[in-house]
Chains A and B, each alone.
Chain A
């Protein structure tokens, strides 16, 4: 009998000794209604990563991340407004995971050891297009309603890589008869002849989303930056065909504001609530910050002397031991030494920098350089565009996500559950191998910023995402 007491008591104690902590609370939608969510945007919205659009990129886009969090909100009672996602989230998914089309520029970038051109015994880990590459033929077929029988072709992510605000009035935007047609729009736009603004109205009126996010405007600046500032950059660009503006220039302010406003009017035309996301600081992307402008490293005085002799006849340049600014050609055609703060693009051929004397005895061509003036154009126009987006958000009572400020914080480092992310190329973890678009983790970080802004604005309690459960940069 006493044994039973004793062991009974002991068993009870052991049984009582498994702790549990559950502090999850059901998320709520606050004043917003996430029943049916539509994402409007460009490549960042589509899920572009590692230089291309792939099905895994789409499945890890920030709109998908947002939907998954909205989806955790319990639905409200029948007839009540609000609640979580009750409609499915449909993206125009690709089949292939190596890149969207057969052109090298749309192939997925992977890390690989590449032999250096001038020192072939050395190799370095570099981002190169995947090889061999096998295109999935289905990816070249229009994603039409035969693929998607749900709700007559509903699509919840209409992010189109490359699209600008300036493209919203362009007819035949996805139509191959148009020399500037967008192949991503071609894949899923409702009709080929329509303008992006028509596609947006179609999505709003036929599927009546209750909540939208709009992240437009980056390409209105980025094209100019990626081209090394080859347009005039001061906002006086003129159309190159019809109403299609030079994609390598900055969109004129009046065009930007007119069509941003039109797109927003379309997005608001069915009474949906939403969030506007502003344009990131282009110059802090790893595409522009990885190659230092003072990458001309001189280790021997004789090298410095001979370089000084070499340039004495044309320019009065002083080279010294240590780090020196590269020689560049600026947008006026002047050959000069770069100044601190000017940026060398990641597209600069590494072989030419390493062995062909680029930046040393030959100037780095202007399409690979953002000069102080060009950076000023980028910053000033980004600032003006963002000011406009901000006033639109105020005017229309929408959440305003200051991604510009946030990504500058990320660039210097944000720590999340033990990992510090920053904007360093490859090692930073947040940006993919193209140096412009985020990794899966980077997109989750972005989604968290959007969620916390939405929560603040709409008094919702959408749960944040565990960023680290997704992929960062993958190493062979």
Chain B
């Protein structure tokens, strides 16, 4: 009977999220299953991301791996018709390794490799918004060596250095047509790197009440010497030379507060608040290595706004072997009206999530989490390109992972 309930519970967790803007919020599966909460309670080695201060609270060194699968699709409609983005599959992954350097040590060391941000939207090459965007991809992962120190039984702190690496792809049609009326095209590809840090304070009032504060810095993903390739009619080849480009995409700073309480044995409740500094994404500026009368640097305004997301989650320990999780959150969009661009037509999200952990053997824990995203339909305009329409994004996000206590 229990198994029946479990199966049905998947049916009810249909509306979820892979994060507002281009943050994907999938850095730890148990936390994902609990609405994205995890600042207060150090459940496993993914606390290297959620709160580096919590790493020293782990019982032992732990190896953690997880992978999610996002299959997002976005639909667009205007009075003349509709379009749906191509089906794409993204597999953000996380590896964490770390814990107290020896049993009951006040020091802990760790290394995290995780996927904090990403975005991908591929429209038909000939769709109505082709002169704004045809395809956009952002992929990146962060590497974070981390140290954590237990000041007292009550207070633990931690910090990590963040190195980000990834790439950006963009393509769009150019309004220069050849004799057959075919558009020109610009394709850009560039590797992006950035650095930052992640810090946290973990407070343990008792076995039943814990609290956390974290601050993750902004990481500017810089592209230098990316390649910009133009396909244009031959008479314009000198006006659109293949050249390099540079740009910058900020992975924004996030300040979080988390509270975790365990009112009865086996039930843990968590509450998180994330304040995300999206306003640093003021514009998407593309500077070409070579400019001509036709080829000017591109400066597209974004004017993202800061967001505050409340998150709630619960963990129920059903037996020594099985726990189930559920959660919900409200993830408001940083994209303001007038800047709803078809490269990331974001909207407010209500997040529901769930998951299960199974301990099949001593030291090993398996985790499964499930998310699916439905943003509300959003009618929006991108005033810079005078492009407007109604968007809706949906995605399902299953994830699996395991961790092993050394």
A476 in contact (CB, < 8 A): yes
The reply to whether B75 and A5 contact each other, CB–CB distance below 8 Å, is no
**A window 411-469: CB within 8 A of B:** 414-419, 427, 429, 463-466, 468-469
Nearest-neighbor residue (CB-CB) of A5 within chain B: B7
Query: With A475-B236, A476-B235 in contact, is A18–B79 under 8 Å at CB?
Result: no
The reply to whether A17 and B178 contact each other, CB–CB distance below 8 Å, is no
Docked CA distance A2–B2 (Å): 10
Docked CA distance A19–B83 (Å): 10
B152 in contact (CB, < 8 A): no
Query: With A13-B372, A473-B177 in contact, is A2–B7 under 8 Å at CB?
Result: yes
Stretch at the interface among A22-30, A253-261, A272-280: A22-30
The reply to whether A466 and B128 contact each other, CB–CB distance below 8 Å, is yes
The reply to whether A19 and B387 contact each other, CB–CB distance below 8 Å, is no
Q: Enumerate chain A residues within 8 angstroms of B393, measured Cβ to Cβ.
A: 19
The reply to whether B394 and A19 contact each other, CB–CB distance below 8 Å, is yes
The reply to whether B82 and A21 contact each other, CB–CB distance below 8 Å, is yes
Closest Cβ of chain B: how far from A378's Cβ, in Å? 31
A265 in contact (CB, < 8 A): no
Docked CA distance A21–B79 (Å): 10
**B window 111-129: CB within 8 A of A:** 128-129
Docked CA distance A190–B172 (Å): 49
The reply to whether A475 and B177 contact each other, CB–CB distance below 8 Å, is yes
Nearest-neighbor residue (CB-CB) of B379 within chain A: A23
Contact partner of B385 (CB less than 8 A), chosen from A12, A113, A417, is A417
The reply to whether B11 and A418 contact each other, CB–CB distance below 8 Å, is no
The reply to whether B11 and A12 contact each other, CB–CB distance below 8 Å, is yes
Q: Enumerate chain B residues within 8 angstroms of A24, measured Cβ to Cβ.
A: 77, 79-82
Q: 0/1 per residue, B43-81, Cβ < 8 Å to A?
A: 000000000000000000000000000010111111111
A6 in contact (CB, < 8 A): yes
Docked CA distance A18–B72 (Å): 9
B206 in contact (CB, < 8 A): no
A355 in contact (CB, < 8 A): no
B390 in contact (CB, < 8 A): yes
Docked CA distance A476–B232 (Å): 10
The reply to whether B392 and A19 contact each other, CB–CB distance below 8 Å, is yes
Q: Enumerate chain B residues within 8 angstroms of A25, measured Cβ to Cβ.
A: 79
Closest Cβ of chain A: how far from B179's Cβ, in Å? 5
The reply to whether A18 and B175 contact each other, CB–CB distance below 8 Å, is no
The reply to whether A418 and B131 contact each other, CB–CB distance below 8 Å, is yes
Docked CA distance A113–B233 (Å): 13
Closest Cβ of chain B: how far from A349's Cβ, in Å? 22
B295 in contact (CB, < 8 A): no
Q: Enumerate chain A residues within 8 angstroms of B392, measured Cβ to Cβ.
A: 19-21
**Most chain B CB atoms below 10 A, which of A19, A111, A113:** A19
Docked CA distance A17–B373 (Å): 8
Q: 0/1 per residue, A300-327, Cβ < 8 Å to B?
A: 0000000000000000000000000000
A115 in contact (CB, < 8 A): no
The reply to whether B74 and A19 contact each other, CB–CB distance below 8 Å, is yes
Docked CA distance A20–B8 (Å): 26
Nearest-neighbor residue (CB-CB) of B383 within chain A: A415
**B window 1-17: CB within 8 A of A:** 3-4, 7-8, 10-11, 14
Q: Enumerate chain A residues within 8 angstroms of B101, measured Cβ to Cβ.
A: none
Nearest-neighbor residue (CB-CB) of A16 within chain B: B14
Q: Enumerate chain A residues within 8 angstroms of B396, measured Cβ to Cβ.
A: 13-14, 17
Q: Count residues of B near A (Cβ-Cβ below 8 Å).
A: 56
Query: With A19-B84, A25-B79 in contact, is A476–B233 under 8 Å at CB?
Result: yes
Q: Enumerate chain B residues within 8 angstroms of A5, measured Cβ to Cβ.
A: 3-4, 7-8
A162 in contact (CB, < 8 A): no
Docked CA distance A5–B131 (Å): 45
Docked CA distance A111–B377 (Å): 45
Closest Cβ of chain B: how far from A26's Cβ, in Å? 11
The reply to whether B77 and A21 contact each other, CB–CB distance below 8 Å, is yes
A405 in contact (CB, < 8 A): no
The reply to whether A476 and B234 contact each other, CB–CB distance below 8 Å, is yes
The reply to whether A472 and B394 contact each other, CB–CB distance below 8 Å, is no
**A window 264-291: CB within 8 A of B:** none
The reply to whether B82 and A20 contact each other, CB–CB distance below 8 Å, is yes
The reply to whether A18 and B80 contact each other, CB–CB distance below 8 Å, is no
Contact partner of A427 (CB less than 8 A), chosen from B11, B294, B398, is B294
Q: 0/1 per residue, B339-379, Cβ < 8 Å to A?
A: 00000000000000000000000000000001010100101
The reply to whether A475 and B176 contact each other, CB–CB distance below 8 Å, is yes
Docked CA distance A174–B389 (Å): 48
Q: Enumerate chain A residues within 8 angstroms of B257, measured Cβ to Cβ.
A: none
The reply to whether B179 and A475 contact each other, CB–CB distance below 8 Å, is yes
The reply to whether B235 and A19 contact each other, CB–CB distance below 8 Å, is no
The reply to whether B175 and A464 contact each other, CB–CB distance below 8 Å, is no
The reply to whether B82 and A22 contact each other, CB–CB distance below 8 Å, is yes
Q: Enumerate chain B residues within 8 angstroms of A465, measured Cβ to Cβ.
A: 80
A125 in contact (CB, < 8 A): yes
A141 in contact (CB, < 8 A): no
Closest Cβ of chain B: how far from A44's Cβ, in Å? 22
The reply to whether A429 and B175 contact each other, CB–CB distance below 8 Å, is yes
Docked CA distance A5–B5 (Å): 10
Closest Cβ of chain A: how far from B230's Cβ, in Å? 13
Contact partner of A474 (CB less than 8 A), chosen from B77, B178, B234, B384, is B178
**B window 126-163: CB within 8 A of A:** 128-132
Docked CA distance A451–B276 (Å): 44
Contact partner of A475 (CB less than 8 A), chosen from B130, B235, B389, is B235
The reply to whether A21 and B390 contact each other, CB–CB distance below 8 Å, is yes
Docked CA distance A465–B132 (Å): 18
Closest Cβ of chain A: how far from B9's Cβ, in Å? 9
Query: With A13-B396, A427-B294 in contact, is A419–B175 under 8 Å at CB?
Result: yes
B319 in contact (CB, < 8 A): no
A10 in contact (CB, < 8 A): yes
Contact partner of A9 (CB less than 8 A), chosen from B7, B179, B181, B391, is B7
Closest Cβ of chain A: how far from B244's Cβ, in Å? 23
Docked CA distance A16–B79 (Å): 24
Nearest-neighbor residue (CB-CB) of A8 within chain B: B7
Q: Enumerate chain B residues within 8 angstroms of A21, measured Cβ to Cβ.
A: 75-77, 82, 377, 389-392
The reply to whether B129 and A417 contact each other, CB–CB distance below 8 Å, is yes
**A window 1-52: CB within 8 A of B:** 2, 5-6, 9-10, 12-14, 16-25
The reply to whether B175 and A472 contact each other, CB–CB distance below 8 Å, is yes
Closest Cβ of chain A: how far from B40's Cβ, in Å? 30
A205 in contact (CB, < 8 A): no
Docked CA distance A2–B3 (Å): 7
**Most chain B CB atoms below 10 A, which of A2, A10, A418, A469:** A418
Nearest-neighbor residue (CB-CB) of B384 within chain A: A415
Docked CA distance A22–B294 (Å): 37
The reply to whether A6 and B128 contact each other, CB–CB distance below 8 Å, is no
Closest Cβ of chain B: how far from A476's Cβ, in Å? 5
A471 in contact (CB, < 8 A): yes
**A window 93-142: CB within 8 A of B:** 111, 113, 125
The reply to whether A9 and B11 contact each other, CB–CB distance below 8 Å, is yes
Docked CA distance A269–B396 (Å): 63
B395 in contact (CB, < 8 A): yes
Query: With A9-B11, A17-B396, A18-B394 in contact, is A464–B74 under 8 Å at CB?
Result: no
Additional A-B contact list (16), CB under 8 Å, known A17-B394, A417-B385: A5-B3, A13-B10, A16-B14, A17-B396, A18-B73, A18-B75, A20-B75, A23-B78, A23-B82, A23-B389, A415-B386, A418-B172, A468-B131, A469-B128, A471-B181, A472-B177
What are 19 contact pairs spanning A and B, CB under 8 A? A5-B3, A13-B11, A13-B14, A13-B372, A13-B396, A16-B394, A17-B71, A17-B394, A19-B84, A19-B394, A21-B76, A23-B77, A418-B129, A418-B131, A418-B387, A471-B177, A475-B177, A475-B232, A475-B235
Pick the 10 closest A-B CB pairs, nearest first: A418-B131, A5-B7, A21-B77, A475-B233, A418-B132, A415-B386, A19-B75, A418-B385, A19-B392, A21-B75
